[in-house]
Amino acid sequence: MAQAEILFPHEVFDTRIAVAYGNYHVECADNLAFMRTLKSAAFQLIVTSPPYNIGKEYEKRRRLEDYAQEQGRVISECVRLLTPTGSLCWQVGNHISTSGEVVPLDLVLYPIFKELGLTLRNRIIWHFEHGLHCSKRFSGRYETILWFTKSDEYLFNLDPIRVPAKYPGKKYFKGPRAGEFSCNPLGKNPGDVWVIPNVKANHVEKTDHPCQFPVELVERLVLSMANPGDWVLDPYMGVGSAIIAAIKNSRDGYGCDIEPKYVQIAEGRLVDLCEGRLRTRPMDRPIYDPSLKNGGQR
């Protein structure tokens, strides 16, 4: 029992074992009610994308002040649940007011994270190619991920997420290291601008959810900010993409969503993953480029 208390975020061990992957637990619940049942400092990584207050099928438009206040309550609970070395990644886009004004949600929410004592490590730009074609402003083709840590002693594993260097064989041509490789043979840091296709109609991961995470986007966060066996939480999990990214990489996943139909899809995807049927876009697949043969795909 003492061991279960250390290992599992709930007092009662009711987590499903995903054989050969990580453990997971998903629930249909309001996230505040759900998180209040979980133990403090249990999660190494919390990664999520909340509603943007733009009137999607799973939300009602509210005054921006009310939206921000509710976000504050959820974020505060997330901070309680983070381990001292843990990371909180909040993925948001723009709120568009009824008059068409663009309000970047990361700017609205940043003071809340600061007030709660978190430290911003990166503001990651996630660039994608597909979306609405606007006629009165430039079409939106990026969103952001705010990566905060709870302390200065935070976990960050760079090697598992390195990407191929531009000139992998390049060597120093003079000086004391002449002849040695000038770049890391494992690849380079992916930087803070991530070009990852968003999940639209032709994406292999598309479900009935209107705004799901690409699994590869969360995999980069999971691999760098949590170790195998660590717990990862998504309090707005939708169809469970973050939980999939976690258990696919031998981390353990917890999540909740308030809409039963999304939770049902998440459960189905998790079963498919564990039984080897779930297709996800691989992290190392090049971006489709119509100017190249076969779109540059291998």
Residue ranges that bind ligand SAM, judged by CB under 6 A: 30-31, 49-51, 58-59, 209, 211-213, 236-239, 241, 256-259, 262
Which CB sits closer to ligand SAM, 9 or 238? 238
Least CB distance from residue 268 to ligand SAM, whole Å? 13
Least CB distance from residue 61 to ligand SAM, whole Å? 13
Least CB distance from residue 243 to ligand SAM, whole Å? 9
Which CB sits closer to ligand SAM, 83 or 212? 212
Which CB sits closer to ligand SAM, 85 or 241? 241
Which CB sits closer to ligand SAM, 95 or 209? 209
Strands 231-234 and 193-195, by their bridges, are: unpaired
Max CA distance (Å), the chain: 63
User: How is the beta sheet containing 23-28 ordered, strand by strand?
Assistant: 16-17, 23-28, 252-257, 231-234, 43-48, 82-92, 142-149, 119-127, 193-195
Which CB sits closer to ligand SAM, 21 or 52? 52
In this chain, which residue has its C-beta nearest to ligand SAM? Answer: 238
Least CB distance from residue 50 to ligand SAM, whole Å? 6
Least CB distance from residue 167 to ligand SAM, whole Å? 36
Least CB distance from residue 157 to ligand SAM, whole Å? 23
Which CB sits closer to ligand SAM, 31 or 85? 31
